[in-house]
């Protein structure tokens, strides 16, 4: 993995299951069944990638599976190969529970060919009944239109479901066994930064590691970082990061000497945060074997406020750099790193990163601006997508530079790309459109630099968030929408009354006219905490699928009902999808408990 995580990348295991009756039936089906497995493999390998850029690998069982012995041989192979996701395929009748995948920890789907010469779909129904009865929820995939027996193509609706399942299940498999690194603990009484090890362990299969912020200070003082990289990083920062206006009162402003020292500290903090997450072989060469190992962290967060920031430069610069798809070493996979150690925002950032392979935005969900309020303070009307009101996403200068909307696709549209598609020009534009302003000393006595920019373009995005509810457990909320580029004269007035040293994204959710999505105000009012994780693209349906694999119910979303894809067992909990989701998640409980 690019970000040097320990452990193999999970593979996708494909199980071609077959009618085991030899002397005619089985033989006539061997080729067609294996071909389905090969077609699924091609579809998956051609379309999906890991966030580190690696190709997805599929493993097909050595033989078709006609009964229990062959199912066991397949399970054995999958275990040796490190399979983390299971897809069973078949065109025909098979012996439901005899050929089933009985491993409780691996997400499962079954694709039954919709033909009529052989009963693939009726097997699917029998198989899913078995999975449900045994408490192993599985996704059922069954094309809408009947295909002829010889047809080896995969219909579009089946493709969509296979890819949605595999993408979500691989995201789940990648988190398992990895770490959330909590640097410091609770920031300003924010509940999400009271990192809950039971949630991580039971629902995500993850470890939580706690490191006191004094460790960062020790590494600064004892120079435990790669000094060569530090010189390179500082030079790059001086040459490429544009220092913004100092908005502090002249009486509290730092002089040039202090500011230069702060730059040095924030660069060191960035190296140290990263090394704490994933280790660094260079530290071993320098005699720090223990520090060289890191903590296998797939996500992390830094408390910062207040003990650290009252005394030392804040984490904004480091958080921005880590969350961006590039730094002094070039273009690379973005890290998932939460401001204020809000682990319940880090988790949806991690979901978004694993589902889209792109950098994630961390923001306060700060203000709902109604059209009337905007008119009152600016004298101007909101128009276009913004006309029913906007939500101000902004945090203390810690957001990924990928969110400047300066990365462009081939048509010149603003996008946020997986790092392997990010170009040098994209990086230059992101940097040119970002200022690093001396931090607001009222909040940050120790100074530091906050990234400041405006998301300058219309992009489809999805905001999400996990909240923990005592007695219920975790719930996920999802709002698909768009970033909007407000007229500069409206933006300036609204931004100035908030904090002109921070990065701003103007967000408009898609409205449905009902419930939490009745209007923009209701979305803001229904948001469960002060933060949101914002991911490029409309990924609500993928998040819903992923949440169901993890047994996390979704309490609010604006995704079309037709795109909701959950294990077939959810149908047994009633026709109202939201209520059924809660009941099913409660019934099956967290996967790793």
Ligand X SMILES: C[C@H](O)[C@@H](O)[C@@H](O)C(=O)CO
What is the C-alpha to C-alpha distance for residues 369 and 392, in angstroms, rounded to an integer? 7
Provide the H-helix boundaries in 241-332.
256-278, 281-285, 289-293, 316-323
Report yes or no: 312 and 214 within 8 Å, Cβ to Cβ.
no
Handedness of CA 560, 562, 564, 570 (dihedral sign): positive
* Binding string, residues 205-244; x marks residues near ligand X by CB under 6 A: ----------------------------------------
Half-sphere exposure of 184 (CA within 13 A, CB side): 26
Which residues fall in the annotated binding site? Answer: 340, 364, 531
Q: How far apart, in whole angstroms, are the C-alpha atoms of residue 52 and residue 54?
A: 6
> Which does residue 305 bind out of Mn ion, ligand X, none, counting CB within 5 to 8 angstroms by kind?
ligand X
User: Residues 2, 53: contact at Cβ < 8 Å?
Assistant: yes
Q: How far is the CB of 400 from ligand X (least distance, A)?
A: 16
Choose between 187 and 237: whose C-beta lies nearer to ligand X.
187
Vertex 185 angle, CA 182 and 190, to 5°: 115
Question: Residue 356: which of Mn ion, ligand X, none does it interact with, CB under 5 to 8 A by kind?
Answer: none
Tell me phi and psi for residue 501, to 5 degrees.
-95, 5
Task: Give the residue closest to Mn ion by C-beta.
Answer: 364
Q: How far is the CB of 305 from ligand X (least distance, A)?
A: 5
Judged on CB neighbours under 10 Å (0-12, 13-18, 19+), 195 is buried
**364, 426, 458, 485: which one is catalytic?**
364
Least separation in angstroms between residue 395's CB and ligand X is 5
What is the rounded CA–CA span in Å between residue 501 and residue 439? 7
Cβ at position 164, least distance to Mn ion in Å = 32
Q: Which of 364, 426, 456, 458 is in the footprint of ligand X by CB under 6 A?
A: 364
Residue whose token pair is 């033909």: 115
State whether residue 396 is helix, strand or coil.
coil
Among candidate residues 340, 342, 426, 499, the one labeled active-site is 340
Whether 340 sits among the annotated catalytic residues: the reply is yes
Least distance between ligand X and beta carbon 318 (Å) = 15
Is the CB of 174 or the CB of 345 nearer to Mn ion?
A: 345
C-beta of residue 479 within 8 angstroms of C-beta of residue 463: yes
Between residue 356 and residue 395, which ones bind Mn ion under the rule CB under 5 A? 364, 395
Q: What is the dihedral of CA 493, 495, 498, 500, to 10 degrees?
A: -110
**Out of 305, 451, 501, 545, the residue judged to bind ligand X by CB under 6 A:** 305
Give the one entry of Mn ion, ligand X, none that residue 179 binds, where binding means its C-beta sits below a cut-off of 5 to 8 angstroms depending on kind.
Answer: none
How many angstroms separate the CA atoms of 279 and 4, rounded?
8
The nearest distance, CB 511 to Mn ion, in angstroms, is 26
Please work out the total of residues on this chain that contact ligand X, with binding judged by CB under 6 A. Answer: 7
Are 499 and 348 in contact by the 8 Å Cβ rule? The answer is no
Quick one: 342 or 426, whose CB is closer to Mn ion? 342
Rounded to the nearest whole angstrom, what is the least distance from the CB of residue 463 to ligand X in the complex? 15
Cβ partners under 8 Å of residue 269, min gap 6? 216, 220, 313, 315, 317, 318
If the CB atoms of residues 88 and 345 are measured against ligand X, the closer one turns out to be: 345
For residue 407, the partner it binds in ligand X, Mn ion, none, with Cβ less than 5 to 8 A by kind, is none
To the query of whether residue 364 is one of the catalytic residues in this protein, the response is yes
List binding-site positions for Mn(2+): 340, 364, 531
Least Cα distance to 202 among 550, 503, 576 occurs for 550
Tell me which of 185, 288, 420, 443 binds ligand X, using CB under 6 A: 443
Nearer to ligand X by Cβ, of 319 and 480: the residue is: 319
Would you say 291 or 364 has its CB closer to ligand X? Answer: 364
The alpha-carbon radius of gyration of the chain (Å, integer) is: 25
Q: Which of 422, 296, 299, 284 shows the shortest CA–CA distance to 350?
A: 299
Nearest to ligand X of 378, 398 (CB atom): 398
Looking at beta carbons only, is 396 or 505 nearer to ligand X? 396
* Shortest separation between residue 495's beta carbon and ligand X, angstroms: 15
Query: Residue 396, interface with ligand X (CB under 6 A)?
Result: yes
Question: According to the binding rule CB under 6 A, does residue 340 interact with ligand X?
Answer: yes
Q: Could you tell me which of 66, 97, 88, 64 has the C-alpha nearest to residue 141? A: 88
H-helix or E-strand spanning residue 460: strand 459-469
395 forms part of the interface with ligand X (CB under 6 A)? yes
Q: Binding string to ligand X for residues 526 to 555, with x set by CB under 6 A, is what?
A: ----x-------------------------
In the structure encoding, which two tokens stand for residue 81, read together? 């190969």
Binding site for Mn ion (CB under 5 A): 364, 395
Catalytic (active-site) positions:
340, 364
Binding site for ligand X (CB under 6 A): 305, 340, 364, 395-396, 443, 530
């Amino acid at each position: 993995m690019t970000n040097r995580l320990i452990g193999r990348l999970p593979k996708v295991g494909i199980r071609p299951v077959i009618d085991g009756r030899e002397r005619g039936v089985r033989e006539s089906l061997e080729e067609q069944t294996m071909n389905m497995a090969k077609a699924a493999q091609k579809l998956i390998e051609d379309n999906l990638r890991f966030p580190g850029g690696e190709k997805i690998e599929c493993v097909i069982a050595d033989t078709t599976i006609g009964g229990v012995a062959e199912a066991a041989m397949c399970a054995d192979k999958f275990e040796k190969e490190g399979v983390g996701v299971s897809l069973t395929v078949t065109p025909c009748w098979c012996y439901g529970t005899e050929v089933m995948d009985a491993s409780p920890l691996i997400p499962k789907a079954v694709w039954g060919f919709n033909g009529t010469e052989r009963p693939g779909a009726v097997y699917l129904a029998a198989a899913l009944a078995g999975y449900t009865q045994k408490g192993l929820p599985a996704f059922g995939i069954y094309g809408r239109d009947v295909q002829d027996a010889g047809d080896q193509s995969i219909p579009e609706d089946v493709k969509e479901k296979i890819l949605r399942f595999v993408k979500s299940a691989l995201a789940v498999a990648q988190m398992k066994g990895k770490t959330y690194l909590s640097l410091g603990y609770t920031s300003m009484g924010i509940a999400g930064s009271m990192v809950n090890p039971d949630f991580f362990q039971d629902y995500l299969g993850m470890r939580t590691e706690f490191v006191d912020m004094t460790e960062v200070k020790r590494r600064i003082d004892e120079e435990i970082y790669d000094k060569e990289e530090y010189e390179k990083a500082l030079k790059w920062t001086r040459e490429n990061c544009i220092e913004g206006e100092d908005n502090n009162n002249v009486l509290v402003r730092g002089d040039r000497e202090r500011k230069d020292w702060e730059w040095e500290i924030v660069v060191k903090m960035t190296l140290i945060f990263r090394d704490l997450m994933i280790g660094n072989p260079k530290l071993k060469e320098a005699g720090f074997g223990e520090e060289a190992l890191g903590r296998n962290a797939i996500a992390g967060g830094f408390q910062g406020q207040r003990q650290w920031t009252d005394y030392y430069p804040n984490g904004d610069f480091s958080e921005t750099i880590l969350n961006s798809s590039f730094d002094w070493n070039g273009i690379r996979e973005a890290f998932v790193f939460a401001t204020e150690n809000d682990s319940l925002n880090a988790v949806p950032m991690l979901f978004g990163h694993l589902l889209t392979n792109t950098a994630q935005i961390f923001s306060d969900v700060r203000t709902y601006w109604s059209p009337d309020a905007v008119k009152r303070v600016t004298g101007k009307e909101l128009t276009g997508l913004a006309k029913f009101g906007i939500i101000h996403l902004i945090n203390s200068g810690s957001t990924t530079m990928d969110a400047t909307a300066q990365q462009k696709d081939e048509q010149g549209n603003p996008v946020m790309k997986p790092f392997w598609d990010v170009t040098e020009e994209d990086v230059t534009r992101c940097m040119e459109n970002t200022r690093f302003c001396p931090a607001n000393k009222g909040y940050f006595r120790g100074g530091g630099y906050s990234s400041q920019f405006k998301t300058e373009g219309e992009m489809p995005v999805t905001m999400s968030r996990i909240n923990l509810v005592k007695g219920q457990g975790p719930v996920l909320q999802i709002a698909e929408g768009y970033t909007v580029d407000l007229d500069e004269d409206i933006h300036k007035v609204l931004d100035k009354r908030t904090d002109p040293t921070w990065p701003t994204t103007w967000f408009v959710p898609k409205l449905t006219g009902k419930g939490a999505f009745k209007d923009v105000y209701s979305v803001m009012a229904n948001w469960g905490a002060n933060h949101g994780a914002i991911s490029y693209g409309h990924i609500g349906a993928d998040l819903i699928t992923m949440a169901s694999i993890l047994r996390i119910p979704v309490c609010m979303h604006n995704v079309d009902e037709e795109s909701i894809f959950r294990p077939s067992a959810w149908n047994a909990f009633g026709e109202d999808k939201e209520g059924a989701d809660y009941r099913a998640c409660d019934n099956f409980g967290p996967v790793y408990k």
